[in-house]
């Protein structure tokens, strides 16, 4: 789909990079992920799911804490109504049956991206051979564990997919078998099960298996307790003494992944799978640009994507020089990471050249339009560790104006707004992700503050979305971090309008791909009014109201720096990139016009400032990097939270209020 092609109302716009169709123990113990939350108090429970864990553990002589810890890392004990995960996993134990999952997958066919402006930079001609999806191959063993669990437990595949108790029993059977394969007795000591847990991960390399097992034991040591998506309260009592005596897993027969060129923390299992930098034979090249960041350009953003395809498809496509690129891909089943582009270089991943030049892109194996195709806790944790590492390396603030989704990247000009992508979408759990990052969204100001941070209760907040499988099909009720915005304080009021997405002035819709009336968890906005259970924020040049009852709040008070237009003007322009003024461009580098977006920031309105940035442009249009230039202007910009996406205003046009 071309970036300038109109998208039918309600359809999600897939990611611009999206697809068609070792000693780690010590570092992990000291890592940021000290646990999933407050330690749970051990106690008996009458909850059927809790009993299922206890009974399965007794039957297969697996410590119940090990069974609960493995399940937490796969599903956080959720059942997802029997729907498969992005990798074909079912139930709280994430038993995988990729063939069945693919046969019933609701995902539409993936569009080709040969017409996309893959760099988000109109200066360089986009061409090259057509890209097609690689042929589908049989699922690997890690995606076929349910069949083995059925054999071991005596339960049918259908029962393991639909019945949580049977699913837990199947997982316990797999763990017991893994312990037997290692020649070990069914010990009562959780620490003796490290190798079996590593095998349960399904990882084919030793580092990933070790990281996975360490994460499970981190959960066991700290404990956890939560109410699941089916309303079940499950608890894992903290066991601080569950420290494996040895984390060596050399005897498991797993390969050693090549991580020699990777730029990952030791707490993440990472391997090198390079994206090619090659001439394409028609005067163009792909699939990224050589650079020297951060000496040449500062890195200010980390962009979260989903792949809209499988792990194997993602790796196949990123290795194609005619396709696009991103820095990292994360696998859902076990949190394994592949790095493709050195951090010093610029990947073509965000559809906005200014953002590309100043960001790192992370692709997460997953689908936007499948609410119950969940991302595993293993992947969330690997991603959070990687992001913290990158943020420390480049000085990127851990907030939602710097750790952004692809759906928060602005269009470069008015013509590109409708073609911007919408992943990872409303089902990505930003609240949980930032808890893992060590930056939970807590109140930083009182309830009558001048700004708010959007923060609904993800599990209980279930706005109706359409566009799952077909444009008007209602998605299954599901937790969401997205808050819907209306033109007046009433559930009957129309949704606010986004004149960039709909120049004709039509109202926004409930479609998964419609970001025109949506605020997302962690985003901060200036308050524009309050009326009863409703709060208004300044959003795309207008007041936008969201339901914010005292008994079920969807935001918290925030301390923030705000700006407004400078005195004496009725409004100021808003930009999708912070490019230098014309006088800054040297001879031989074409001037990039300061093309405003079709919005205005009007007098009296206020917006939250996320950053102050110097106007900057990377001129890179040839395979030979000798002619590449970084143009820096004398003008500065403020990055603001303007709508669902970020935007930029000139410092000279604005006045900072606090």
**Residue 4 · residue 199 · CB < 8 Å:** no
Model confidence at 42, pLDDT cuts 50, 70, 90, reads very low
Q: Which residues make Cβ contacts (< 8 Å) with residue 528, sequence separation at least 6?
A: 536, 537, 538, 543, 544, 605, 606
Distances 213 to 170, 220, 456, 503, 527 between C-alpha atoms, Å? 19, 11, 32, 52, 45
Cα–Cα distance between 416 and 61 in angstroms, integer? Answer: 59
Q: Name the residue among 566, 547, 544 with its Cα closest to residue 555.
A: 547
Give the pLDDT confidence of 335-358 residue by residue, as tens digits: 999 999 999 999 999 999 999 999
On the question of pLDDT at 444 being above 80, the answer is yes
**Residue 380 · residue 86 · CB < 8 Å:** no
Q: What is the mean pLDDT of the chain?
A: 90
Model confidence at 122, pLDDT cuts 50, 70, 90, reads confident
Q: Name the residue among 107, 52, 112 with its Cα closest to residue 85.
A: 107
What pLDDT is stored for residue 30 in this prediction?
A: 35
Q: Which residues make Cβ contacts (< 8 Å) with residue 68, sequence separation at least 6?
A: 53, 77, 220, 224, 234, 236
Distances 457 to 37, 138, 431, 475, 489 between C-alpha atoms, Å? 16, 39, 9, 19, 20
DSSP line for 224-235:
EEEE-TTS-EEE
On the question of pLDDT at 13 being above 60, the answer is no
Model confidence at 32, pLDDT cuts 50, 70, 90, reads very low
Domains for the chain: give ranges and CATH numbers: 25-107+141-252 (1.10.530), 444-560 (no CATH), 565-656 (no CATH)
- Are β-strands 654-656 and 596-602 bridged in parallel, bridged antiparallel, or unpaired? unpaired
Cα–Cα distance between 503 and 511 in angstroms, integer? Answer: 18
What pLDDT is stored for residue 497 in this prediction?
A: 97
* Cα torsion through 459, 460, 466, 469, rounded to 10: 30
Cα–Cα distance between 464 and 512 in angstroms, integer? Answer: 10
Angle, CA 56 vertex, CA 54 and CA 61 arms, to 5°: 95
CA 471 remoteness from chain centre: 23
Q: Name the 3-class secondary structure at 148.
A: helix
DSSP line for 519-570:
EETT-EEEEEEEETTEEEEEETTEEEEEE--TTS-SEEEE---EEEEPTT-S
DSSP line for 449-477:
-SEEEE---TTT-----B-SSSTTPBPPP
Count of H-run helices and E-run strands, the chain: 13, 28
Model confidence at 117, pLDDT cuts 50, 70, 90, reads low
Instruction: Give kind and range of the element (H or E) at residue 180.
Output: helix 164-181
**Residue 432 · residue 458 · CB < 8 Å:** yes
DSSP 8-state code for residue 510: S
Instruction: Determine if residue 200 is left, alpha or beta; phi over 0 gives left, psi from -120 to 50 gives alpha, anything else beta.
Output: alpha
The model's pTM = 0.93
Give the pLDDT confidence of 300-341 residue by residue, as tens digits: 999 999 999 899 999 999 999 999 999 999 999 999 999 999
What pLDDT is stored for residue 46 in this prediction?
A: 76
**Residue of 591 and 130 predicted with greater confidence:** 591
Give the pLDDT confidence of 492-532 residue by residue, as tens digits: 999 999 999 999 999 999 999 999 999 999 999 999 999 99
User: Region 178-205: what's the mean pLDDT?
Assistant: 96
DSSP 8-state code for residue 296: S
Q: Which pair of tokens denotes residue 34?
A: 């000290």
On the question of pLDDT at 618 being above 60, the answer is yes
User: Region 611-635: what's the mean pLDDT?
Assistant: 96
Model confidence at 566, pLDDT cuts 50, 70, 90, reads very high
Model confidence at 12, pLDDT cuts 50, 70, 90, reads low
What pLDDT is stored for residue 88 in this prediction?
A: 93
Q: Which residues make Cβ contacts (< 8 Å) with residue 328, sequence separation at least 6?
A: 337, 338, 339, 340, 360, 361, 362, 363, 386
Q: Name the 3-class secondary structure at 511.
A: strand
What pLDDT is stored for residue 131 in this prediction?
A: 66
On the question of pLDDT at 111 being above 60, the answer is no
Cα–Cα distance between 454 and 447 in angstroms, integer? Answer: 13
Cα–Cα distance between 132 and 446 in angstroms, integer? Answer: 53
**Residue 423 · residue 431 · CB < 8 Å:** no
Q: What percent of the chain has pLDDT over 90?
A: 81
């Amino acid at each position: 789909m071309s970036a300038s092609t109109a998208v039918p109302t309600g359809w999600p716009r897939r990611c611009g990079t999206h697809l068609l169709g070792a000693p780690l123990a010590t570092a992990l113990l000291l890592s940021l992920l000290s646990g999933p939350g407050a330690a749970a108090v051990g106690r008996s429970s009458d909850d059927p799911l809790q009993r299922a864990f206890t009974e399965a553990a007794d039957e297969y002589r697996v410590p119940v804490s090990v069974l609960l810890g493995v399940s937490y890392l796969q599903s956080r004990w959720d059942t997802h109504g029997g729907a498969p995960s992005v990798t074909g996993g079912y139930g709280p134990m994430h038993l995988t049956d990729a063939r069945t999952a693919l046969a019933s997958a609701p995902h539409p066919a993936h569009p080709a991206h040969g017409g996309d402006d893959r760099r988000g930079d109109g200066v360089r001609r986009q061409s090259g051979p057509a890209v097609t999806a690689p042929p589908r191959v049989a699922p690997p063993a890690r995606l076929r564990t349910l069949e083995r669990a059925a054999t071991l437990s005596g339960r049918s595949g259908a029962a393991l997919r639909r019945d949580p108790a049977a699913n837990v029993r199947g997982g316990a059977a797999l763990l017991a078998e893994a312990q037997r394969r290692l020649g070990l007795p069914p010990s009562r000591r959780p620490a003796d099960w490290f190798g079996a847990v590593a095998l349960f991960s399904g990882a084919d390399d030793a580092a990933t298996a070790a990281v996975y097992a360490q994460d499970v034991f981190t959960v066991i040591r700290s404990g956890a307790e939560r109410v699941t998506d089916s309303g079940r309260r499950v608890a894992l009592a903290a066991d601080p003494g569950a420290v494996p005596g040895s984390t060596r897993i050399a005897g498991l027969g797993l390969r050693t992944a090549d991580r020699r060129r990777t730029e990952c923390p030791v707490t993440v299992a990472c391997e090198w799978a390079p994206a090619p930098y090659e001439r394409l034979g028609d005067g163009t090249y792909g699939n990224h640009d050589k650079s020297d960041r951060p000496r040449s350009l500062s890195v200010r953003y980390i962009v979260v994507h989903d792949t809209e395809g499988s792990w194997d498809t993602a790796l196949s496509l990123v290795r194609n020089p005619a396709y696009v690129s991103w820095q990292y891909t994360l696998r859902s089943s076990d949190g394994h990471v592949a790095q493709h582009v050195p951090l010093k270089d610029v990947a073509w991943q965000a559809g906005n050249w200014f953002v590309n030049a100043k960001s790192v892109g992370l692709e997460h194996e997953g689908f936007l339009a499948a609410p119950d195709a969940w991302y595993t806790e293993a992947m969330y944790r690997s991603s959070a560790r990687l992001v913290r590492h990158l943020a420390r390396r480049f000085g990127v603030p851990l907030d939602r104006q710097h750790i952004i989704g692809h759906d928060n990247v602005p269009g470069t000009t008015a013509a590109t707004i409708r073609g911007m992508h919408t992943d990872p979408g409303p089902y990505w759990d930003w609240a949980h992700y930032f808890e893992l990052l060590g930056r939970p969204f807590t109140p930083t100001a009182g309830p009558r503050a001048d700004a708010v941070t959007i923060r609904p209760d993800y599990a209980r907040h279930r706005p109706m979305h359409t566009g799952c499988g077909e444009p008007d099909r209602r998605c299954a009720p599901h937790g969401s971090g997205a808050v819907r915005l209306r033109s007046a304080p009433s559930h009957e009021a129309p949704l606010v309008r986004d004149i960039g997405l709909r120049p004709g002035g039509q109202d926004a819709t409930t479609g998964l791909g419609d970001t025109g009336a949506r605020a997302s968890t962690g985003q901060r906005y200036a308050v524009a009014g309050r009326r009863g259970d409703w709060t208004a924020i300044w959003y795309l040049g207008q007041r936008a109201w969201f339901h914010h009852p005292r008994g079920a709040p969807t935001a918290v008070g925030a301390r923030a720096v705000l700006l407004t237009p400078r005195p004496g003007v009725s409004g100021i322009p808003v930009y999708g990139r912070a490019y230098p003024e014309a006088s800054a461009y040297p001879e031989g580098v074409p001037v990039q016009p300061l093309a405003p977006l079709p919005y205005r920031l009007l007098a009296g309105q206020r917006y939250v400032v996320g950053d102050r940035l110097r106007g900057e442009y990377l001129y890179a249009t040839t395979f030979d990097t000798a002619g590449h230039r970084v143009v820096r202007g004398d003008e500065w910009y403020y990055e603001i939270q303007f709508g669902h996406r970020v935007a930029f205003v000139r410092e000279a046009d604005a006045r900072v209020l606090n």
